[in-house]
Structure 1
Amino acid sequence: MNTLLSFLHILLISFLEMLYLVGVIIVIGLILGALERISNSYLIRAFGPKGVMVTAWIGTPIHEIGHLLQCFIWGHRVSRVKLLQFNHPAGILGYVEHHYNPNSIYQQIGNFFIGLGPIFSGIGSLILGMYLLVPQSYYTFKTQVENRIKLEQLDLTVLKTIVESASVICKSLFTFENLINPLFWLFLIIAFSISSHIALSRADIKGSARGLTMIFFAIFLFNILANVLNWDTYQTVVKLAGYNAYLLAFSSIAILFSFLTLIISVVLFNIKRQFIN
């Protein structure tokens, strides 16, 4: 009986630790995916399938580069890459074909991060765009993050700070100085294009799910060893997962522009409907 209870306890702890380590990025992916799907549905209803193509020139290569970079990091062999295409019969705009050693736990875990690659490349590209094109807004955001975000347990205080970070981004971007700056409008075009193609495809989600299963298995095995050696892994993982505060802060940029993209899509759809009526 004690053995069974110990086994169930290890299972529960492993699941909670997995949520602390990767749960936030999964939630971010779901939010970005939902916003993109709704935005694209309005664009397609307004302009047809070609409405989504306008932003694909920038957004799709950034999406696929995210997969590609993670393939290199996790040791997968890349066989074919298409950063952008318009004539695929199934409407696939780009893809990265990769292979891995099924006997390698490291490469199997990599499937999770390869599937989520577009989120990392999308957020990274948005931050780089701010740094190069609207540096004043970037430094305002950077100062906010440095002053308010700390590596600590994720709680309501941290979540409040994330909302404040998004507010700071919005206020620092939409200023009179930026509105008369051509580079600001270039950044907006790039940001909207990236946000329109940051979500994960079904194939991405399927690959990530395989990796997530292996992540849980690896954590579970580690916790069995920790139980034998009487280590307290839970508190260590909770402290380690403090990086989620930074992850949320930086992802607020992508969520903000995905939300703005949704608003623009709805506005364009209503304008088109008014002209038709």
Structure 2
Amino acid sequence: MNVFLSYGITWMERESLKGLRIEMDILFSFIHTLLISLVELLYLFGVIMAVGVVLGILERYSNSFLIRAFGPRGVLFTAWIGTPIHEIGHLIQCFIWGHRVTRVKLLQFNSPTGILGFVEHQYNRKSWYQQAGNFFIGLGPIFSGIGSLILSMYLLVPETYKAFVKEIQLHVTLEKIDFTFLRIISGAILAISKNLFTLENLINPLFWIFLIVGISISSHIALSKADIEGAAKGLLTIYFILVLFNVFTAVFKLNSYGMIVKIAELNAYVLAFSSIALFFSVVALVVSMLLFIIKKQIC
């Protein structure tokens, strides 16, 4: 009796393994696409989101000192300038992203809820463009706040503005953002402080107007809870769009990561211009702290 032993695999088993390998390759490719899209999202918007977090922390402490010194209405010292600029930031982004604005209050002092201003808007949930716009609408006050600070500097203390722009031109380059962001921020803030608190400015009434405007804007530039929630919805849509974009570029063998990184290099300029908001947020914190200490000593 002859016995034949076979240690190979059948054709059906080979095909099954082949199919399994294909499924695993697809799964790993999809996971890779999700991770790459997340990294690209951070490259594109990580800097501005980090700036928003820092501004929020500084504003929270600054306003807490004002409230402890003067009560809940203490924030009104800065709200008359800062709140309209904050809400205008939302409003402009609503128009850009096609949202329908239903109600606007740039400033209100007697709201029972304590809300100083608001922009109510509606959008088409079937439109990816309008859904993605929620992110930029939520971050609108950061854009309008930084823009207003730069415009105020240009109009009221032009010499400081020139020094600030010169610093950016000399030291900000389109390069990968790693630890160089510390050099960018510190250099820009140093240029502002060195050229702002000069003898010539101290005797110039426009300098003091700029100082009041800067403190007021920076005290209300951070995002509210509702702003953050709205921005998060838009960010999720942007992430989904990035995933689809990466699938498309993978099919046509394009370097999507390289494209995104090139665009993200503009974050160097975002950091540089954000430095003015960070600078005035620190100034606002110091001033509010001093007012609290003085009030405490008097009382």
Scaled to the shorter chain, the TM-score interval is: over 0.9
CA contact (8 A) 2:184 2:271 kept: no
The answer to whether residue 278 in structure 2 is matched with residue 255 in structure 1 is yes
Equivalent AA in structure 2 for residue 245 of structure 1: A
Structure 2 gaps of 5+ residues are 1-23
What displacement does 1:147 show?
Answer: 1.6
Distance 1:128 1:69 in 2: 16
Aligned to 1:68: 91
Distance 1:186 1:107 in 2: 38
Aligned to 2:70: 47
The answer to whether residue 287 in structure 2 is matched with residue 272 in structure 1 is no
Aligned to 1:95: 118
Aligned to 1:145: 168
- After superposition, residues 223-234 of structure 1 pair within 5 angstroms as 223-234=246-257
Distance 1:157 1:206 in 2: 30
Aligned to 2:141: 118
Greater CA drift, 233-242 or 95-104: 233-242
Distance 1:68 1:157 in 2: 34
Distance 1:69 1:54, change over 3 A: same
The answer to whether residue 259 in structure 2 is matched with residue 236 in structure 1 is yes
Aligned to 2:238: 215
The answer to whether residue 269 in structure 2 is matched with residue 246 in structure 1 is yes
Percent identity between matched residues is: 63
Asked which structure has the greater CA Rg, the reply is 2
Q: Secondary structure at the match of 1:91?
A: coil
Deviations along 1:74-130, whole A, 9 cap, x unmatched?
000111111000111000101111110000000000000000000000000000000
What displacement does 1:50 show?
Answer: 1.3
Equivalent AA in structure 1 for residue 92 of structure 2: L
Equivalent AA in structure 2 for residue 197 of structure 1: H
Equivalent AA in structure 2 for residue 202 of structure 1: K
The answer to whether residue 189 in structure 2 is matched with residue 166 in structure 1 is yes
CA contact (8 A) 2:181 2:271 kept: no
Deviations along 1:154-179, whole A, 9 cap, x unmatched?
12234313211111111010000000
TM-score by length of 2: 0.91
What displacement does 1:49 show?
Answer: 1.0
The answer to whether residue 38 in structure 2 is matched with residue 15 in structure 1 is yes
Q: Secondary structure at the match of 2:177?
A: coil
Q: Secondary structure at the match of 1:80?
A: strand
What displacement does 1:152 show?
Answer: 1.7
The answer to whether residue 84 in structure 2 is matched with residue 58 in structure 1 is no
Deviations along 1:34-60, whole A, 9 cap, x unmatched?
100010011100100111001111000
Distance 1:188 1:94 in 2: 23
Equivalent of residue 220 in structure 2, options 197, 206, 210: 197
CA contact (8 A) 1:141 1:165 kept: yes
What displacement does 1:268 show?
Answer: 1.0
Aligned to 2:210: 187
Distance 2:215 2:242 in 1: 38
| 4+ runs deviating over 3 angstroms | none
CA contact (8 A) 1:149 1:158 kept: no
The answer to whether residue 92 in structure 2 is matched with residue 37 in structure 1 is no
Count of residues in Structure 1 that have an aligned counterpart in Structure 2: 276
